[in-house]
């Protein structure tokens, strides 16, 4: 009987330690991660289909977000040299989201899209058939120290920014 009491106390102590440690483990997993090109190499395809053609991706110009719950947003520039100038203007990057996003106050359902920054400070999202899904106003960040052809960074106001050079749109869940 005495050994049973000791074993119960040890078990209760172990459980208490595990419960006290749990918030730290949950907190460590509860942050979203911005992905750089090296992180996306195994996640994004070398070529994509859009508007009746396939095109190679530029994985060196890619980025994304891995959310704390394991879902992804991924994007990469695409070599659109085989497309007409009208299509190529709107289709600069391949964009994949596993979750609903809010871009410029509009909801974008989970899916695979073509995206582009076009004239008049517009950011356009199209489906793989080239049909417009949404269009929002883009902004310019002249303070960005090192613009890249495409990158995703954390937005100081919350959420994230998708940049093409100094031009960007903000997005969040």
Q: What is the pLDDT of residues 151-166, one digit of tens each?
A: 999 999 999 999 999 9
| Better-scored residue on pLDDT, 87 or 28 | 87
Residue 173 pLDDT: 95
Contact 129, 114 (CB under 8 A): no
Distance CA 58, CA 77 (A): 5
Q: Specify the pLDDT at position 4.
A: 53
- Same domain membership, residue 93 and residue 20: no
29-42 burial by CB neighbour count: b if 16+ within 10 A, else e? eeebeebebebbee
Higher-confidence position of 110 and 19: 110
Q: 103 and 136: one domain?
A: yes
* Residue numbers of the domain that contains 8: 1-29
Q: What is the domain count for the chain?
A: 2
Model confidence at 7: pLDDT above 80: no
Say if residue 21 is in the same domain as residue 89.
Answer: no
pLDDT, the chain, mean: 87
* 138 against 82, higher pLDDT: 138
CB 100 within 8 A of CB 81: no
Residue 86: predicted pLDDT = 87
Report pLDDT for 37: 97
């Amino acid at each position: 009987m005495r050994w049973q009491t000791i074993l119960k106390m040890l078990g209760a102590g172990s459980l208490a330690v595990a419960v006290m440690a749990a918030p730290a483990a949950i907190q460590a997993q509860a942050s979203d991660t911005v992905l750089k090109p090296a992180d996306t190499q195994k996640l994004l395809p070398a070529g994509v289909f859009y508007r009746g053609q396939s095109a190679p991706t530029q994985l060196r110009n890619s980025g994304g977000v891995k959310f704390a719950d394991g879902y992804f947003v991924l994007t990469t520039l695409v070599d659109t040299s085989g497309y007409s100038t009208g299509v190529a203007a709107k289709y600069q990057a391949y964009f994949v989201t596993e979750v609903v996003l809010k871009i410029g106050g509009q909801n974008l359902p989970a899916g695979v899209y073509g995206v582009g920054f076009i004239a008049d400070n517009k950011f356009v999202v199209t489906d793989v058939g080239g049909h417009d899904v949404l269009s929002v106003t883009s902004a310019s960040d002249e303070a960005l120290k090192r613009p890249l052809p495409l990158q995703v960074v954390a937005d100081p106001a919350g959420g994230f920014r998708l940049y093409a050079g100094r031009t960007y749109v903000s997005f969040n869940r």
